[in-house]
């Protein structure tokens, strides 16, 4: 952990992608989810221009600060720095970790998406703050996704790394227990929260099925 | 000027875009052009993943350092920082200038593309190191370009800003005199150099038709 904030206390990681819930303002989603207990959010926008993404990210960053929750930006280190996000989440096609660390400085969180044991090994060597791993199940938010790894895939990479692992990909409330049991430290969700009929209720139910995070002071 | 390097000494600005000369290694173009007297280069790649762009930009950055020429990265502040470029060139859809300055720090060059007087006024207010303005003529390297402004457009904005202006867009060797006379401080070229039969010769001819830059010591 290079950040002073111990983000691993939160097993629920909510990814805010406007392409998944175009009819709901993301600031509203963040605010309601934060009120329900979520403390870790990522802004993901793969299609907007930097200018558009900046406007959106800044509004979310301000809402996150108001709610006292962590705010990570997907892919773009410069956008993360521009809005003073708590960190950046890199894909396999993004800047290499060592370069991203140089750009972000020592105090920001950096996570990396991984999809197989080789990527997990390579990413772990670079000492990111956490890994994303998946898709565990077919994602609800991506069409051209990497091969589904299943719970077996998750179990296999648990032996490969000691870094915090956020499982991702099509995970619904009923599967939380199985996923955590297979070795995840947390679960990253998109559709399961963003498309929930009642976001507040969905967040509470997710959290209720996850281990209570230890107090940092304990 | 926020940079210690007085880039405005160079009236020729060569933009290296692999989509314009896929058959020629950009490092070779840079090296040959630098030998012929060019001292200001920009790396532009609108389609590569950040990881691919990083590999390409790093090789160019190293070649630029070896040749002792300035190296600017288009669009992506994080890539510019990752390869320690001399600056970044922003489009109208990129990070706002004040944010880019914050991300890049005080010592990097920042330029902005502009296409009409309003954009020139807005950009000038943010105190970039230089402006790009165009397209003066129909560009050889872009299909979906902004409206052609012509030499009259260039003359009109010369009255609007005191910043160094690089005219851009389809400028061939035979038009250099007209463009400089219309108020440009320099000319940014892509196709005219990258697609030249003899790059060395093309650079020399361009430079021979431009004012000799004053020595920084004079």
Domains of chain B: 12-208 (3.20.20.70)
CA pair distance B131, B49, nearest whole angstrom:
26
Report how far residue A4's alpha carbon sits from residue A14's, in angstroms, rounded to the nearest whole number: 20
Name which of B50, B75, B82 is nearest A93 (Cβ-Cβ).
Answer: B50
Residues of A in contact with B126 (CB under 8 A): none
Cross-chain Cβ contact B103/A81 below 8 Å: yes
Kindly state the tokens that stand for A98: 């060592």
Q: Which helix (H) or strand (E) holds A71?
A: strand A70-74
Q: Quick check: is B162 catalytic?
A: no
Give tens-digit pLDDT for A150-203: 999 999 999 999 999 999 999 999 999 999 999 999 999 999 999 999 999 999
B110 in helix, strand or coil? strand
Q: Please check whether residue A75 touches B, CB under 8 A.
A: yes
Q: Give backbone dihedrals phi and psi of A115, rounded to 5 degrees, phi first.
A: -135, -5
Task: Give the single-character DSSP code of B145.
Answer: P
Mean pLDDT for the stretch of residues B8-36: 91
Task: Please give the average per-residue pLDDT across B117-139, as a whole number.
Answer: 95
- Tell me the two tokens of residue A123: 């990413």
Average pLDDT for B42-54: 95
Which residues of B are less than 8 Å from A54 in CB distance? Answer: 95-96, 99
What is the residue-level pLDDT of chain A in tens, covering all 218 positions? Answer: 344 344 556 899 999 999 998 888 999 999 999 999 999 999 999 999 999 999 999 999 999 999 999 999 999 999 999 999 999 999 999 999 999 999 999 999 999 999 999 999 999 999 999 999 999 999 877 778 899 999 999 999 999 999 999 999 999 999 999 999 999 999 999 999 999 999 999 999 999 999 876 544 43
For the residues B51-56, what does the mean pLDDT come to? Answer: 96
The residue among A1, A19, A11 whose CA lies nearest residue A40 is A11
- The pLDDT of residue B4 is 39
Average pLDDT of span B141-169: 92
Mutation target vs A (from B46, B48, B50, B87; most A CBs, 10 A cutoff): B50
The pLDDT value recorded for residue B3 is 41
Please tell me which residue in B44, B61, B101, B108 is annotated as part of the active site. B44
Residues of A in contact with B103 (CB under 8 A): 78, 81-82
Residue A9: predicted pLDDT: 62
Record: contact A49-B93, CB cut-off 8 A: yes
B80: three-class secondary structure by DSSP? helix
Contact A82 B92 (CB under 8 A): no
Q: Residue A136 is encoded by which pair of tokens? A: 């565990």
Q: Which of B82, B96, B99 sits opposite A95 (nearest CB)?
A: B82
Interval B170-214: pLDDT, tens? 999 999 999 999 999 999 999 999 999 999 999 999 999 998 765
Q: Do A99 and B82 touch (CB under 8 A)?
A: yes
Q: Is B44 a catalytic residue?
A: yes
Question: Of B181, B183, B188, nearest to B156 (Cα)?
Answer: B183
Q: Grade residue B29 by pLDDT with cuts at 50, 70 and 90.
A: very high
With cut-offs at 50, 70 and 90, classify the pLDDT of residue B145: confident
Closest partner residue to B51 among A50, A96, A103, by Cβ?
Answer: A96
Of B51, B76, B94, which is closest to A51 when you measure between CB atoms? B94
């Amino acid at each position: 952990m290079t950040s002073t904030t111990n983000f691993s206390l939160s097993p629920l990681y909510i990814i805010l992608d406007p392409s998944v819930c175009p009819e709901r303002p993301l600031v509203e989603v963040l605010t309601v989810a934060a009120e329900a207990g979520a403390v870790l959010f990522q802004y993901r926008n793969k299609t907007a221009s930097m200018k558009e993404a900046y406007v959106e990210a800044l509004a979310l960053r301000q809402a996150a600060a108001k709610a006292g929750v962590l705010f990570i930006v997907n892919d773009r280190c410069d956008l993360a720095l521009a809005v003073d996000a708590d960190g950046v989440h890199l894909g396999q096609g993004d800047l290499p970790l060592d370069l991203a660390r140089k750009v972000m400085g020592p105090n920001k969180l950096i996570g990396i998406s991984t999809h197989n044991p080789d990527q997990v090994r390579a990413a772990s060597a670079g000492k990111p703050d956490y890994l994303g791993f998946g898709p565990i199940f077919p994602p609800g938010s991506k069409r051209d996704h990497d091969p589904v790894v299943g719970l077996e895939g998750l179990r296999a990479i648990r032996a490969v790394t000691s870094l915090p692992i956020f499982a991702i990909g099509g995970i619904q409330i009923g599967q939380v227990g199985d996923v955590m049991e297979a070795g995840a430290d947390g679960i990253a969700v998109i559709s399961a929260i963003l498309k929930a009929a009642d976001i507040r209720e969905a967040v509470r139910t997710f959290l209720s099925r996850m281990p209570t995070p230890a107090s940092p002071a304990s």
